[in-house]
A = this chain, B = another copy of it.
Amino acid sequence: MKEFARKQREENRIVGLVPTMGALHQGHLSLIKQARQQCSTVVASIFVNPTQFGPSEDFAKYPRTLSSDTEKLESAVVHCLFLPEAKDIYPQNYSTYVNVDGLSERLEGRIRPGHFRGVGTVVMKLLQIVQPQVAYFGRKDAQQATIISRMATDLNLDAEIVVCPIEREADGLAMSSRNVYLNASDRQSATVLHRSLQAVQLLLQNGIRDALSLQSAMHRVLKEESRAQIDYVEIVGAETFEPLTQINRKAYVLVAAKFGKTRLLDNLLVDFSDKGQLTIEL
């Protein structure tokens, strides 16, 4: 892989990396599409990274669909698939970890201790191996994307981190490799995450900026679905993930909930134009 990367540099090609854990869906393909628009060489990686799973999490049963993934990557015209094995990424005596303090301990990090340390470490390694000018991540995992951006800035990495919009099913459910875990009832109920964010969108459009009011509205919607076990409903600054009481700068409205044993995430991004005009990405 390093040899391939070196050759791309020598030929002055712009390399875009789309790191994935496989079980590819339209969300991943949208990242590849954007990479193809901006780069001359697109590399996708598939690696189910053991260090980002907790001991009681779904590492063993995480969906592995290599043959259909490969077909999708061929259709999407990826120039290179990097498919490392765990023993090569984490050989014996492996012991180096990258952590983004603060950001990594909040929300998802509190519920999944060590998760973001695993994510940061593997992304660091992928960036060093593939040496892309640009790397693409989905906004569905907003905290992950923010942590990776922070890491790239802090460690003076060359790679630009691009965060792409959430792809959704027709009924609004954010695409995720874990959606396949949902049974029919939970699958139907899971749209409540998107609906709770639509409620926030409506309030924001009506000038409500107060975090408590927005969170209450979300809780009201979420409580209508008895199958949803809410982990958190939070409104945070987009850079630090510290809670906001007022949406007065770039912010995420985040929701995490379990349906059966399946944890799902969704979010809405609020930003302000130079003229102070509010924009919403759902």
Contacts and interface: CB of A to CB of B under 8 A. Distances in A.
Interface of A: 2, 93-103, 120-121, 124-125, 128-129, 150-151, 154-158, 239-240
25 contacts: A2-B156, A2-B158, A93-B239, A95-B102, A95-B103, A95-B150, A95-B154, A96-B99, A96-B100, A96-B101, A96-B120, A96-B151, A96-B154, A97-B98, A97-B99, A97-B101, A98-B98, A98-B155, A99-B99, A121-B155, A124-B155, A125-B154, A125-B156, A128-B155, A128-B156
A38 B27 CA distance: 47
Nearest to A124: B155
A151 B93 CA distance: 11
Main secondary structure of the interface of A (DSSP, over half): mixed
A98 B96 contact: yes
A88 to B, nearest CB: 10
A150 B91 CA distance: 12
Given A96-B151, A125-B155, 14 more contacts: A2-B156, A93-B240, A94-B154, A95-B102, A96-B98, A96-B99, A96-B150, A97-B98, A97-B99, A97-B101, A124-B155, A125-B156, A128-B155, A128-B157
Given A156-B125, A156-B129, A158-B128, A100 B93 contact: no
Nearest to A1: B156
A265 to B, nearest CB: 22
B129 A96 contact: no
A97 B120 CA distance: 10
A120 to B, nearest CB: 8
Contact of A101 (B2, B95, B124): B95
10 A-B pairs with least C-beta separation: A96-B154, A128-B156, A95-B101, A129-B156, A96-B151, A96-B100, A95-B102, A125-B156, A95-B100, A98-B98
